[in-house]
Amino acid sequence: MCHTSVHWVSALPAVLLGLRTVFKEDLQCSPAEMVYGENLCLPSQFFVQQQPQAADNGFIKKLKTHIRQLRATPTSNHSAKPTFVYRDLSVCSHVFLRVDAVQPSLSQPYTGPYKVLSRTNKNFIILKDNKKVTVTIDRLKPAHLLLDNINSSECKLDSPGVDTPSPTPSAKVSEKSPILTRTGRRVHFPVKYRDFVS
């Protein structure tokens, strides 16, 4: 061994690799090429030092000018839906009010008509059940009523009138003959539907 160091064992792998990759004149190839069919890669070949190339100033200038000319494209906003507002809301005298609560199927989406007391750009004050109620504009729909309907509804809402004793629903039911089923059972209708039952 040509190494005079005491730690010659640590240099042994590099020496053996050199013996395998050395070119032999008589064979015209290396021992590794005879075994593997190709030369082995030496550690110095893994780390090839390349000279840093000087950057092309013309390319950098063109790139900078191109980046300066770029403008951001306006993005689209898909989450905000525009609120539809009727044109007639600014002049109508009565409105329908949308019910925002969860309702069963086939129920009316709007209630009313209600008289408009005052209005702003965003809110309306309407007369609902003889009470002033502030409602946002997106829940309203203009009510196109005939003049006779407006006068009759105003008379009902505005004039409290004298309370006349009206017959109670139970008295009306007792006057009529009871409705029976085929088996002879008596039918009990809810109070709110008793006026419609003949």
Check whether residue 61 and residue 109 sit in a common domain: no
Residue 63 located in a structural domain? yes
Q: Identify whether 82 is part of a domain.
A: no
75 occurs within a structural domain = no
Radius of gyration of the chain (CA): 48
Q: Within 10 A of 113 (CB to CB), how many other CB atoms are there?
A: 21
Q: What's the confidence (pLDDT) of residue 149?
A: 56
Task: Say yes or no: 134 and 92 in one domain.
Answer: yes
> What are the pLDDT digits (tens) for 89-116?
888 889 999 998 898 989 999 998 899 9
- The Cα 133–Cα 137 span in angstroms is 12
Instruction: Answer yes or no: are the C-beta atoms of 1 and 15 closer than 8 Å.
Output: yes
CATH code of residue 134? 2.30.30.140
Residue at which a domain ends, from 120, 143, 166: 143
Has this prediction a pTM greater than 0.85?
Answer: no
Residue 159, pLDDT > 50, answer: no
| Residues 106 and 66 grouped into a single domain | no
Residues 122, 92 share a domain: yes
Do 98 and 135 fall into the same domain?
yes
124 versus 28: the higher-pLDDT residue is 124
**Does 60 lie in the same domain as 104?**
no
Residues 23 and 62 in one domain: yes
Q: The tokens of 72 are what? A: 């951001």
Q: Outline where DSSP puts E strands in the chain.
A: 94-98, 110-119, 123-128, 131-136, 140-142
Task: Report if residue 66 sits inside a domain.
Answer: yes
In a domain, 78, yes or no: no
Q: What is the pLDDT of residue 147?
A: 67
The percent of residues in the chain predicted with pLDDT above 70, rounded, is 73
Per-residue pLDDT band for 127 (boundaries 50, 70, 90) equals very high
Measured CA to CA, the distance from residue 68 to residue 65 in angstroms comes to 5
Asked if the structure places residue 113 within a domain, the reply is: yes
Please report, rounded to a whole number, the percentage of residues in the chain having pLDDT higher than 90. 14
**Residue 161 covered by a domain:** no
Q: What is the pLDDT of residues 38-62, one digit of tens each?
A: 877 777 766 666 666 666 678 888 8
* Structural domain that includes position 139: 87-143
Per-residue pLDDT reduced to its tens digit, 56-65? 678 888 888 8
Please tell me the total count of domains within the chain.
2
Final residue of a structural domain among 96, 127, 143: 143
**Does residue 98 fall inside a structural domain?**
yes
Q: Check pLDDT > 90 for residue 85.
A: no
